[in-house]
Amino acid sequence: MANIGYIQVVRHCNHFCGFCSNPTTPYTHDLESMRVLVDDLVDRGYFGVVMTGGEPTLHPELPEIVAYASERGLHVRMITNGWRLADRRFADELARAGLRLVHVSIYSVDADVEARLRGVEGSLERAFAALDNAAAAGVEVNINSVINRLNADHLDRNVRYFLKNHPQVRHFVWNNLDPSMGRAEVNQELFVPRLADFELSLHRALRLLHRAGRTFRVERVPLCYMTEFAWASTETRKIIKGEERVVHFLDDKQTVRQTAWGHIYGDGCEVCSLRPICGGLFDQGGAYDPDELHPVFIDHERVVAAVLGDASDPSFTGQTLDAWRESFAGRATPEPVPRERETMREALIPVGRITDRGRRLFAAKRRAEADKAARLGVAVERERERAADERDEQP
């Protein structure tokens, strides 16, 4: 298995996406606190780490923590909006530090749509520059895209543009919108798509990439909406391989260890041949309709064989289908608890801390975000996301 851990380096951002599920908090990291989290992933035997946020490039010690994680033997990745990577010198600095792969988040190649989603003019041009700069620095470049109501009808148009203008991009990741936290929760009507809204354009996009020899993954999309490419489902691959994920959240959730990948299922799912390996419908936030689910009837072991035989996957072991059947049958099937705080480890590692300076910056950021929200016509997150600024300073 090639388990990947996530460290939220910061929780503030230089963009203002109306569907952000991880908005600003008063928690902050220094280099030492991030080193402890890197060590935790190494101790768990993880293959790699994803530096994320917020916008991780805003942390002044990002190159140092990248270097430390690389020295500890982790495959270091980063998810970014690309704004700072538009500076070639910064891209070169991260590459020298040991950054191996960067996921640049781009939602639409339509500049007006991208600006509406980002809350910032000029973001698309800088993201394109980030793709070129990172690749020129020797860093592998992927594209991350959140599926939402504003881009649901042109995912395939995005792909055509990238294939023509940024051929160095070899891997694409789609994440269906998580409507359960932050601004995503309170702006569901503006941004959450129906599954049917993106079914056709996603299928066209995946076919284009497959024919062009690119690789891709899709998260939080039930298999009945991507049956031809079921092997590319993030949840399905983790179910098949028995993988887990740890996220060190820079908020009250702290460390979350996810081992169950199933969500909810419709009435027809019980007769679906893909039910044993499907993550179902992401139910957090209550925004998606299980009535959109429907059964399909293809041999699920065809999907299993495709996943097990993927030699490009870092977790490839050459496991046979017979060996997988035995392993899969013997696994426990816990109730799905996708965001349960980890309680298995004897001593939970503190993730960041709240300081007086962090509170002041948080308050200033909130005032600025309230102005942006009013200008863009979106709501800010519920008070529970902001309650931490009233807590006592943590050690």
Both structure tokens of 182: 């932050």
CB-CB contact of 128 with 134 (8 Å): no
pTM of the model: 0.89
User: Is the per-residue pLDDT at 145 higher than 80?
Assistant: yes
Task: Output the pLDDT for position 282.
Answer: 83
DSSP track, 207-239 = HHHHHTT-EEEEES--GGGSGGGGGGBHHHHHH
Among 156, 164, 102, 147, residue whose Cα is nearest residue 127: 102
Question: What's the length of the chain?
Answer: 395
As a whole number of angstroms, the distance between CA 173 and CA 106 comes to 10
Residue 73, CA distances (Å) to 29, 43, 98 in order: 21, 11, 10
Give the bridge partners for 215, in sequence order: 171
The HSE-up count of residue 199 (CA atoms within 13 Å, CB side) is 13
Confidence band of 389 (pLDDT split at 50, 70, 90): very low
Sorting pLDDT into bands at 50, 70 and 90, what band is 392?
very low
pLDDT of 385 above 80:
no
With residue 357 as reference, give the H or E element that holds it: helix 356-376
In this prediction, residue 270 carries a pLDDT of 92
Ordered domains of the chain (ranges, CATH): 4-390 (3.20.20.70)
CA 175 to chain centre: 7
Mean pLDDT of 200-221: 97
pLDDT at 370: 87
User: pLDDT-based confidence at 333, cuts 50/70/90?
Assistant: low
pLDDT at 388: 43
- What gap in Å lies between CA 325 and CA 337, rounded to an integer? 24
Close Cβ partners of 90 (under 8 Å, ≥ 6 residues apart): 57, 84
Write out pLDDT tens, residues 243-276: 877 888 888 888 887 776 668 899 999 999 999 9
Q: Is 80 helix (H, G, I), strand (E, B) or coil?
A: strand
Beta carbons of 70 and 98 less than 8 angstroms apart: yes
Task: Name, of 12-21, 151-160, 267-276, the range with top average pLDDT.
Answer: 151-160
